[in-house]
Amino acid sequence: MTGPLVAILSGAGISTESGIPDYRGPTGLWRRDPEAEKLATYEYYMADPEIRRRSWQARRAVWALRPEPNAAHLAIADLDRSGVPVRVITQNVDGLHQRAGIPGRKVLELHGTTRDVVCTGCDARMPTEEVLPRLEAGEPDPACLDCGGILKTATVMFGQELDPLVLGQAAAIARACEVMIAVGTSLQVYPAAGLVDIAVDGGARLIIVNAEPTPYDGLAGEVIREPIGTSLPAVLHRLRRQYEEREASS
């Protein structure tokens, strides 16, 4: 692979302009309602039907919004189309990077996806769109139609391990990249945040675009606090220009 490999490590903050609330930001869901964190915790989800009901209603509300990729997602896709080698490592489960035009093979979803549902009993997997009509029809906690087991979206909840294959691929990208842009992430959740250490240890330049300070700001060559929808496209435009100048002179 020639030229700089740009690794985008994205978190919930990149999707807030699409109408999807973040969790730890200044107005994040978990700051407004600390109990909401239980909806993303496997132990609570599996043990409490009321937690599952609330979780399904929260998912249903987000799907009803039909969120679309925003300027930040589209700018990353534009950078990829320009020929700059780009890989996206995302903590998000919304699929908006792919919707924006990034090929699925270039996106690693560390925390899974809400686009599919899995059975915790028999491991059956199906598109979430097949379960939504059951919610609309009044089922508060739809069970697996094959075995009667508990269904959940194909996301990695607190208390569950990340897919080691996906994490290994992400670490390889972090080691190889010349530039890592951490955007819309608090860099407080591990092992995802540890990818920044891997990138910096490998000599990558770190750029952080986030509304609030992160534990890694001191390692960054550039820290940007401006709105992501305007600041990230500007950063990517600059990287694209640098890449084109380097290619032209090589």
Strand order from edge to edge, sheet including 151-155: 125-127, 112-119, 151-155
CA–CA dist 81, 240 (Å, integer): 11
Residues in the chain: 250
Strand (E) positions, 167-239?
179-183, 205-209, 222-224
Which residue in 73, 97, 111, 237 is the catalytic one?
A: 111
Q: Which two tokens stand for residue 146?
A: 């094959």
Q: Which two tokens stand for residue 6?
A: 């740009």
Q: Number of C-alpha atoms within 13 angstroms, CB side, residue 118?
A: 11
CA–CA dist 73, 71 (Å, integer): 6
Q: Number of C-alpha atoms within 13 angstroms, CB side, residue 242?
A: 13
Is 237 an annotated catalytic residue? no
Strand (E) positions, the chain?
6-10, 86-90, 107-109, 112-119, 125-127, 151-155, 179-183, 205-209, 222-224
What is the DSSP annotation of 67-124?
A: ----HHHHHHHHHHHTT--EEEEES--S-HHHHHT--GGGEEETTEEEEEEEETTT--
Which residues are catalytically annotated? Answer: 111
